[in-house]
């Protein structure tokens, strides 16, 4: 599950791993993403189902991105650049 998200967002691997360990709701989102990706691959031959799962995957990816960016913003606000 975690590996699936890290493959999608390799530039944010550290924050993804931290969120996964510290936030149960993020962990659940990662599980949903892995499940949706697996279903998308499984239904490649069925265009209707494939489109449905592709949309679901994209929605979950957007939600994961929002959480990642929120966590990054929080880190920036906690440790502004130039502050010693």
Burial (CB < 10 A; 0-12, 13-18, 19+), residue 2, is middle
In whole numbers, what is the pLDDT of the chain averaged over residues?
93
Region of poorest pLDDT, from 19-28, 41-50, 51-60, 72-81: 72-81
Residue 20: name the closest of 10, 39, 6 by CA.
Answer: 6
**What's this model's pTM, rounded to 2 decimal places?**
0.86
Average pLDDT over residues 43-51: 91
What average pLDDT does the segment 51-60 reach?
96
Among 22-26, 44-48, 61-65, whose mean pLDDT is lowest? 44-48
């Amino acid at each position: 599950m975690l590996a699936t998200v890290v493959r999608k967002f390799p530039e944010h691997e550290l924050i993804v791993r931290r969120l996964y360990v510290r936030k149960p709701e993020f962990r659940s989102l990662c599980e949903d993403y892995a499940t949706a990706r697996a279903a998308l691959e499984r239904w490649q031959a069925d265009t209707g189902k494939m489109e449905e799962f592709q949309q679901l995957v994209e929605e979950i990816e957007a939600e994961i991105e929002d959480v990642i960016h929120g966590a990054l913003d929080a880190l920036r606000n906690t440790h502004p650049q130039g502050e010693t």
